[in-house]
Structure 1
Amino acid sequence: MTEVLGVSVGASAVRMARPDLRLHTSGERELDFRHDTVDTQRDRAEELAAETIGVVLAQNYGDRGVEATGVAYRDQQQFGDIQQAMSVQRLHNYRLVPEARAALAYLEASGEIGDFGTIALYDLGSSGLTISVVDRATGDVLLAERTTDISGSDFDRLICDNQLAKQGVDLQNSVGVEEFTTRCRIAKEQLSTSGAVCLPGESGVILISRESFEALVTVPIEYSARLVRDVITRSPQRVDALFLVGGGARIPLVEAILRSWTGLPVVTPAEPESVAAKGAALLATPVRDAPAPTAPPVLRNGPATSSGAQALSGAPEWLSPEPVDRSVTSKRKIRGAALVAGGLAAVAALGLTLGYGGSEDSTSAPADSEQPLTTAPPSTSRTSTTTLPPSTTVEAPAPAPAPVETYEAPAYERPAPAPAPPPPPPPLIPGLPDFQLPQIQLPPPPVFELPRF
């Protein structure tokens, strides 16, 4: 008996599903799944998923062996990350399928899709929200949009901040913060079916009701409803129903708000967090003698991804960017190279002109050389030739001793006295002809002596 394995890679957990076909009492086959969940904690989700798949494939359950593995991926970035992680584990018998197509496959097999034609998927997980419009007839994703402004991790932090503020506790230890946040996530999950939750722990007691939790998350959920309405408005086909998948779909307030904002039938499948893993298991097909990749895969009709791991040609077209005309690009590169080469040639010619364009006076032979240096007259390209005596060896002159620099204080010179000012010009009487008046020298005044008593 052979089995298939379906895997979905989330930010907080890696989920695995195995189909279990059993006969119903009426004689019809009933589709059921066996589930396994591995929390990522501090590990990278893609690496943990590859290690877990390797362990599962290495196990032997008698005659039950896993013949095929399907792995659901979220976007192009995760597509390359999963490929790298699987290559490190030397695993090649697997298929990568988009999460939207995996969800559609499960909804078809379970019959929950009903008679709807074009559906919208609201996938709220720990790392973000993905909204996709899928054509049921072709399986193509007509429109997709993802945001990290709302996520399950944001809901956990809202609960954590609320509880810490109520208790007046400031957790400084990172271990205590991680433990407290984990219990907040558990409280969020329990509030989907309970009216209130009380979780004691070393870092404090978490006590919160569903009403308090809904008051914290109403604004971000309404924000996501606006995004859903915008995507549905821009869809090239009319959307018939909205399906909620992912762990966030278990929150009752999500379904209520989306139904009132969109006006569409809203369906939440059973165990919405495992829909992608179940669909990946249904789409898994064996890969025989798949060669190990020796180089990073190349994205079809698009540039390399930022992480260095690109998608293979099996990636869906709706995730690939617009095609690029390679001929135009190569022509631009050739023209650019020609312009750069011309610029370098001009710079080189200018450098030659500046380096050798000095005057004859600035170039002279050293005084201690054995033979004079003869330079050619100035021209476009100047060369210098040195005439050596007819001898097989030329002895270099002994180096001259380095000059010794001395410093002498400048002698102070007393400035010369300023010359005497010239005598003033003789006075002139306005209105009369110019003539020189005789200079009259008055006698000194007489000296009077007072009588002494």
Structure 2
Amino acid sequence: MTEVLGVSVGASAVRMARPDARPQDPGRLDFHHDTVDAYWDRAEELAAESIGVVLSQPGDGGPVQATGVAYRDQQQFGEIQQAMASQRLYNYRLVPEARAALQYLEASGELGHFGTIALYDLGSSGLTISVIDRGTGQVLLAERTIDISGDDFDRLISDNQLAKQGVDIADNQELSEFTARCRVAKEQLSTSGAVCLPGDGGVILISREAFESLVTVPIEYSARLVRDVIGRSPKHVDALFLIGGGARIPLVESILSAWIGLPVVTPANPESVAARGAALLATPVADAPRQPTPQPGVRQSPSGPASLTGAPDWLSPEPVADKPADSKRKVRGAVLVAGGLVAVAALGLSLGYGGSSTEPTSAPAETSTPATADPTTPRTSAPTTTAPPTTTVPPTTEAAQAPARTYSEPEYVPPVAPAPAPAPPPLIPGLPQIQLPPPPVIELPRF
């Protein structure tokens, strides 16, 4: 048979399942299971790294030809895509967790005669309740809540044990390690009546009865949610299936059976149901492309959608420029300096040869060559009466070859003599003769 791999990505663990190529019972589906703890790492990135390791190692039936990865929601869909692309993995299929679970329950024969089923998926990060039509595989209704989760159960055990010991752990790292040991104790309580785990933060000693007294209220709250979802279902629900790591807690099945009034089924190894279903849905991706080599001068769109079988556009490296990056900046700087000199010369002409306020100017007009802002688009300067027009030469990659700017020196104009003093006013007979001083002559500075 074709060697395939199924993966489910949880908040605290990555679970992988591979169908047994040589099952002991021909009429039964057997799988090899592997679990990678993701309590300290990002689950999506850890899943991509783990898949890469498995693909590099041939199994009993040869190398893996197809991979199926179950995702929880659209946000995790995109996060898995990015993590897989970072590992250069493209030959995989992404399938919804509900569809993967339905596929396994159908193949294993556990669905029986039920038509429409409800899934109770209790994991470390939250609870998802889904109603699925078996005939079409369509999810009719789905709700998710984080008010009840496996992490909440871990914290309840941690608070209980710290209160009994009278210990207050202030360091976050020590508290996280203590809570991680409480998670191990919770998992062992699924099959044991009591657990004793020694450690640096203190001994964890708890019985199943004590644990169930801590989690009864949250589980009953989840039962109310299940009743509400089933009551709003467009089709009658025939049975409730418990999957996820939380389904191993015996109290969950007993409370839901009493509250729902429907057959409640807990498959074997409920935490890996989605991974096994993803393996059954895995099919090889024909001609899965690798990351395309970018063409020089062509930039991939940073906002383009990522493909299931191709590398996302944002992974394309920056294109290499054909010219040195500083060449254009040097040429542009040379042109701006030349333009500044022309502007200073024009200012000198206007101030030094404008004449006084009482007499019109007599200096000849001078037209300077305009400075271009962009050296890549040369323009021809306007003709003047004192100098022939000059043409700007396109620059090369060196700043020393910037176009030369030419302009004519202004002609010398002798200073204008001051105007003569005005004649004294006429004398009027019969009035006292008062001689006014002549008005001052104001002489503007010369440049």
Residue type of the alignment partner of 2:106: E
Q: Secondary structure at the match of 1:48?
A: helix
The aligned residue for residue 8 of structure 2 is: 8
Residue type of the alignment partner of 1:112: E
Q: Secondary structure at the match of 2:289?
A: coil
Query: For residues 242-282 of structure 1, what are the alpha-carbon distances to aligned partners after superposition, in whole Å with 9 as ceiling and x for unaligned?
Result: 00000000111111111222111111000000000000001
Residue 388 of structure 1: CA displacement?
6.6
CA contact (8 A) 2:9 2:47 kept: yes
CA–CA separation in structure 2 for the residues paired with 1:165 and 1:309: 53
Q: Which moved more, 1:58-67 or 1:269-278?
A: 58-67
The aligned residue for residue 211 of structure 2 is: 213
Which of 172, 181, 184 lines up with 2:182 in the alignment?
184
The aligned residue for residue 131 of structure 1 is: 129
The aligned residue for residue 96 of structure 1 is: 94
How much identity, in percent, do the aligned residues show? 73
Residue 71 of structure 1: CA displacement?
0.4
CA–CA separation in structure 1 for the residues paired with 2:285 and 2:241: 31
| Distance change >3 Å, CA 73–CA 370, structure 1 → 2 | same
Which of 22, 34, 38 lines up with 1:40 in the alignment?
38
Q: Secondary structure at the match of 1:215?
A: helix
CA contact (8 A) 1:101 1:139 kept: yes
CA contact (8 A) 1:371 1:388 kept: no
| Distance change >3 Å, CA 63–CA 8, structure 1 → 2 | closer
Residue type of the alignment partner of 1:65: P
Query: For residues 270-314 of structure 1, what are the alpha-carbon distances to aligned partners after superposition, in whole Å with 9 as ceiling and x for unaligned?
Result: 0000000000001000112212477xxxxxxxxxxxxx8967699
Residue 389 of structure 1: CA displacement?
4.0
CA contact (8 A) 1:22 1:31 kept: no
The aligned residue for residue 81 of structure 1 is: 79
Which of 189, 195, 198 lines up with 2:196 in the alignment?
198
CA–CA separation in structure 1 for the residues paired with 2:60 and 2:211: 48
CA–CA separation in structure 2 for the residues paired with 1:174 and 1:275: 34
**Is 1:370 equivalent to 2:368 in the alignment?**
no
Taking only aligned residues, the RMSD between alpha carbons, in angstroms, comes to: 3.2
Q: Secondary structure at the match of 1:87?
A: helix
CA contact (8 A) 1:84 1:309 kept: no
Q: Secondary structure at the match of 1:66?
A: coil
The aligned residue for residue 59 of structure 1 is: 57
Residue 196 of structure 1: CA displacement?
1.4
CA–CA separation in structure 1 for the residues paired with 2:256 and 2:291: 44
Residue type of the alignment partner of 2:81: Q
CA contact (8 A) 2:5 2:64 kept: yes
The aligned residue for residue 162 of structure 2 is: 164
Residue 372 of structure 1: CA displacement?
4.9
The aligned residue for residue 234 of structure 1 is: 232
Larger radius of gyration: 1
Residue 195 of structure 1: CA displacement?
1.6
Residue 148 of structure 1: CA displacement?
1.0
CA contact (8 A) 2:117 2:131 kept: yes
CA–CA separation in structure 2 for the residues paired with 1:170 and 1:259: 39
CA contact (8 A) 1:72 1:98 kept: yes
Unaligned ranges ≥5, structure 2: 293-302, 310-350, 367-409, 416-442
Q: How many residues align?
A: 326
CA contact (8 A) 1:21 1:29 kept: no
| Distance change >3 Å, CA 79–CA 399, structure 1 → 2 | farther
CA–CA separation in structure 1 for the residues paired with 2:142 and 2:97: 11
Residue type of the alignment partner of 1:277: A
Q: After the TM superposition, which residues 307-386 of structure 1 pair with which residues of structure 2 at under 5 Å, given as runs?
A: 370=355, 372=357
Query: For residues 115-140 of structure 1, what are the alpha-carbon distances to aligned partners after superposition, in whole Å with 9 as ceiling and x for unaligned?
Result: 10000000000111111111100111
CA–CA separation in structure 2 for the residues paired with 1:142 and 1:73: 18
**TM-score of the two chains, using structure 2 as the length reference:** 0.67
Q: Secondary structure at the match of 1:11?
A: coil
Residue 45 of structure 1: CA displacement?
0.4
Q: Secondary structure at the match of 2:222?
A: helix
Query: For residues 352-402 of structure 1, what are the alpha-carbon distances to aligned partners after superposition, in whole Å with 9 as ceiling and x for unaligned?
Result: xxxxxxxxxxxxxx9x973559xxxxxxxxxxxx9774465499x9998xx
The aligned residue for residue 17 of structure 1 is: 17
Unaligned ranges ≥5, structure 1: 295-307, 315-365, 374-385, 401-453
CA contact (8 A) 2:17 2:33 kept: yes
CA contact (8 A) 1:68 1:94 kept: yes
